[in-house]
Amino acid sequence: MAIGVEKMYESPTPTVVEFIGRAGNYFWEFENFGLTFPGYYALYMTAYMNRFGATEEDFCKVAVKNHYYGSINPKAQFYGLRITVDQCLKSRYVAWPIKLYDSSPITDGAAAVILASEDLARKITDTPVWIRSVGVATGTANLSKRPDFIGLDAAYQAAEQAFKRIGIEHKDTWKYFDVADVHDCFTIAEVMAYEDLGFVERGMGIQLVRNEQTYKGGLIPVNLDGGLKAKGHPIGATGTSMAVEMTKQLRQGVEPRDRQADIYTGWALAHNVGGTGHYAYVTIYSLDKNGSPRVKPKR
């Protein structure tokens, strides 16, 4: 059994900001310039907005989607709480252009999965979910050493490895997966994930948001559990909770059905990031033990 647990909700916010901030590049970015985690992602959001003409309103739509799904997930921190674009736009800045409602909250949480060999898995369940591929890569600790600020190279490289192992190209990958969970610690992180994972090309992630193509029924449903944004981000439990969600989705056991993705190919993807892209994992799950994913039917 793999268990992820975190308890941080009752800690005072300035203390949490201090300790998470110190998890970046300590000397050159925190000690001297007081960079916070929202600040790190804000540097990406500013660059992305400038490069691709995205707006704060566009990013708020990610928050609205994830809150919608969180509101119908009884295990979510914000169960029962929906938000509007307007509420998001009016929320206070944490690290301009990132606002409170662009940010995942401080959360308590836990998740567990049973990892088993093929023999044992067949004994304990009729519907095992296979871990078909894992990609992992690291990025620079120092943000200024990265060549650009419109995507996370570690996530891109992790995806590249993961896709290679199951024999698919790192391009238009939305068509192979029924559902995905991505590391939306901030709304910009979700949009960059769409692109790092090759669902769409660089710069097109924001179009997926505008056209509501990452809701259930869209090109690729993302974070139907509410994501880090609304399910909550208990740091040590977040990765395991994605494994739980992808397993439930593929086995079509999600309640209520409004957040159960339609399962066509039987493949799902989880994307998890540590630090600010210091490292990233892409894990691919399938109901099939062998073979490559088929393409989703046109609808």
Q: Given the rule CB under 8 A, which residues bind another protein? A: 10, 12-15, 17-18, 21-22, 26-36, 38-39, 42-47, 50, 92-98, 142-146, 148-149
Q: Write down the least CB distance from residue 109 to another protein, Å.
A: 16
In the complex with another protein, which residue's Cβ is closer, 82 or 146? Answer: 146
Are residues 239 and 281 in contact, defined by beta-carbon separation less than 8 angstroms? yes
Distance, CA of 281 to CA of 136 (rounded, Å): 5
In the complex with another protein, which residue's Cβ is closer, 9 or 279? Answer: 9
Distance, CA of 212 to CA of 207 (rounded, Å): 8
Q: What crossing angle do the helices spanning 187-196 and 153-165 adopt, rounded to 10°?
A: 40
223: left (phi over 0), alpha (psi -120 to 50) or beta: left
Q: Tally the C-alpha atoms within 13 A of residue 238's C-alpha that lie toward its C-beta.
A: 28
Q: What is the largest CA-CA distance in the chain?
A: 56
Distance, CA of 257 to CA of 74 (rounded, Å): 13
In the complex with another protein, which residue's Cβ is closer, 148 or 201? Answer: 148
Q: Write down the least CB distance from residue 11 to another protein, Å.
A: 8
Q: Write down the least CB distance from residue 78 to another protein, Å.
A: 16
Q: Write down the least CB distance from residue 39 to another protein, Å.
A: 5
In the complex with another protein, which residue's Cβ is closer, 58 or 181? Answer: 58
- Smallest Cα–Cα separation from 194: which of 80, 68, 65, 295? 65
Q: Write down the least CB distance from residue 189 to another protein, Å.
A: 14
Q: Write down the least CB distance from residue 71 to another protein, Å.
A: 22
β-partners of residue 138 are: 279
- In the structure encoding, which two tokens stand for residue 153, read together? 């190279």
In the complex with another protein, which residue's Cβ is closer, 29 or 190? Answer: 29
Distance, CA of 26 to CA of 23 (rounded, Å): 7
In the complex with another protein, which residue's Cβ is closer, 103 or 272? Answer: 103
